[in-house]
């Protein structure tokens, strides 16, 4: 059997572990397998840039971060526009699949990449996918690989800021990735003992943030750590229409939301704040042990789907168990943090402020 394999979208720590899981399971369960690795995501499939993989290519990569195949991203809205060389992208991908006489395409990607995977599946290609992202925002799965390693990095950043914040009696904002969702901030904020956690799903009130800082001061706690998601939004901005918000943001000179909040706190109450942004460090380095295990197991399940010719699905975790979900139920959706999520209740019970007005 001939398998095409690619990684798409932002990289993360256990992509290699997942590919190894797929490959080892296939090599171990059939004598007849050829894996074509497309280089730099869907781009490699469009331009027929691939490498015929050897079994040994998948050895020694369990602990390696990044992706041995490379990755790329272009917004899905441009999928039907020709690429720089004038090539029709979708037709190019289908042609490569047919030219190589592939039996299946294995795609490791996030929510954006699943739109393309679902489109290719609709066009008649056999597709099996694996959920990767540090954001944990893929619909249909309780967890994606990459997420747990990123939690560890973000938590370590909060830990490290804690010692300097305490020594200097300072207020710090640690801005955490997660795109439009607050999963990574919520988990690392709790693990790192943040005092305030701001996520996009719960617009924050600046006065409430200030009140929490003052309340802590009265308790003799001279420092405050705010874990803020990169997609967090103030309640004032949340009231605006999409168009109004776009116009307002044009007037902002801040490089990111943490600097906006820092400015608001300074202007409102003269509150001095320091900002720390770990950025892409959050998806770099070696995967954590639990992430390696998850990625490997998702890889084994994906290989199982391929061997059973159970195409058109993403491997997922549902109620703590491995399962599968049709690609059309995943594509085009974002899994947000539900405000009724028990993590939110538990964080607030603990005395963490989520920035909502009391």
Ligand X SMILES: Nc1ncnc2c1ncn2[C@@H]1O[C@H](COP(=O)(O)OP(=O)(O)O)[C@@H](O)[C@H]1O
Where along the sequence are the contacts to Mg ion (CB under 5 A)?
A: 110-111
The answer to whether the CB of 315 falls within 8 A of the CB of 107 is no
Distance of CA 312 to the CA centre of its chain: 22
**Which of ligand X, ligand FBP, Mg ion, none sits in contact with 324, Cβ below 5 to 8 A by type?**
none
Give CA–CA dist 90/303, Å, rounded. Answer: 25
Q: Check residue 200 for interaction with ligand FBP (CB under 6 A).
A: no
Rule CB under 6 A: choose which of 4, 10, 44, 304 binds ligand FBP: 10
Compute the least distance from the CB of residue 176 to ligand FBP, in Å.
9
The footprint of ligand FBP on this chain (CB under 6 A) covers a number of residues equal to 12
Note the residues at the interface with ligand X (CB under 6 A). Answer: 8-10, 41-43, 46, 72-74, 76, 79, 83, 89, 109-113, 115-116, 133
Question: What residue is closest to ligand X based on CB?
Answer: 112
Rule CB under 6 A: choose which of 47, 126, 133, 188 binds ligand FBP: 133
**Which of ligand FBP, Mg ion, ligand X, none sits in contact with 89, Cβ below 5 to 8 A by type?**
ligand X
Triad 357, 164, 289: Cα angle to 5°: 85
For Mg ion, give the closer residue by CB, 23 or 331. 331
Give CA–CA dist 337/200, Å, rounded. Answer: 9
Binding segment for ligand FBP among 172-180, 300-308, 320-328, 334-342 (CB under 6 A)?
A: 172-180
For ligand FBP, give the closer residue by CB, 13 or 96. 13
Binding-site entries: 10, 73-74, 110-113, 133-135, 170, 177-179, 230, 274, 280-283
Among the options 11, 40, 135, 291, which is catalytic? 135
Binding-site entries for ATP: 10, 73-74, 110-113
Binding segment for ligand FBP among 91-99, 173-181, 268-276, 345-353 (CB under 6 A)?
A: 173-181
Q: Catalytic residue at 135?
A: yes
Rule CB under 6 A: choose which of 89, 115, 187, 283 binds ligand FBP: 283
User: Residues with catalytic annotation?
Assistant: 135
Q: Rule CB under 6 A: which residues touch ligand FBP?
A: 9-10, 110, 112, 133-135, 177-179, 230, 283
């Amino acid at each position: 059997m001939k398998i095409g394999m690619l990684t798409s979208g932002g990289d993360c720590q256990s992509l290699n572990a997942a590919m190894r899981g797929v490959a080892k399971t296939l090599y171990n369960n059939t004598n007849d397998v050829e894996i074509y690795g497309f280089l730099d995501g869907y781009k490699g499939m469009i331009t027929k840039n691939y490498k015929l993989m050897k079994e040994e290519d998948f050895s020694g990569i369990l602990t390696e971060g990044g992706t041995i195949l490379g990755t790329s991203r272009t917004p899905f809205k441009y999928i039907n526009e020709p690429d720089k060389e004038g090539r029709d992208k979708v037709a190019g991908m289908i042609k490569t699949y047919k030219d190589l006489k592939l039996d299946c395409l294995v795609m490791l990607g996030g929510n954006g990449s699943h739109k393309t995977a679902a489109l290719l599946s609709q066009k008649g290609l056999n597709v099996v996918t694996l959920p990767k992202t540090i954001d944990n925002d893929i619909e249909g799965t309780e967890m994606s690989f990459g997420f747990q390693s990123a939690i560890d990095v973000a938590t370590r950043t909060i830990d490290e800021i804690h010692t300097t914040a305490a020594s200097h009696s300072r207020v710090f904002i640690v801005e955490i990735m997660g795109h439009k969702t607050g999963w990574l901030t919520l988990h690392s904020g709790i693990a790192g003992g943040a005092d305030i956690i701001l996520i996009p799903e719960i617009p924050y009130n600046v006065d409430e943030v200030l009140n929490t800082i003052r309340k802590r001061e009265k308790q003799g706690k001279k420092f405050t750590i705010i874990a803020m998601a990169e997609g967090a939004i103030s309640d004032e901005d949340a009231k605006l229409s999409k168009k109004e918000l776009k116009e307002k943001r044009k007037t902002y000179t801040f490089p990111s939301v943490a600097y906006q909040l820092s400015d608001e706190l300074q202007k409102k109450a003269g509150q001095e704040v320091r900002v720390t942004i770990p950025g892409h460090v959050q998806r770099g380095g070696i995967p954590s042990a639990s992430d390696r295990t998850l990625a490997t197991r998702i890889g084994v399940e994906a290989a199982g789907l391929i061997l059973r010719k159970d195409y058109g699905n993403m491997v997922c975790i549902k109620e703590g168990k491995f399962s599968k979900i049709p690609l059309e139920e995943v594509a085009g959706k974002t899994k947000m943090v539900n405000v009724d999520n028990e993590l939110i209740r538990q964080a607030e019970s603990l005395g963490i402020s989520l920035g909502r007005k009391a």
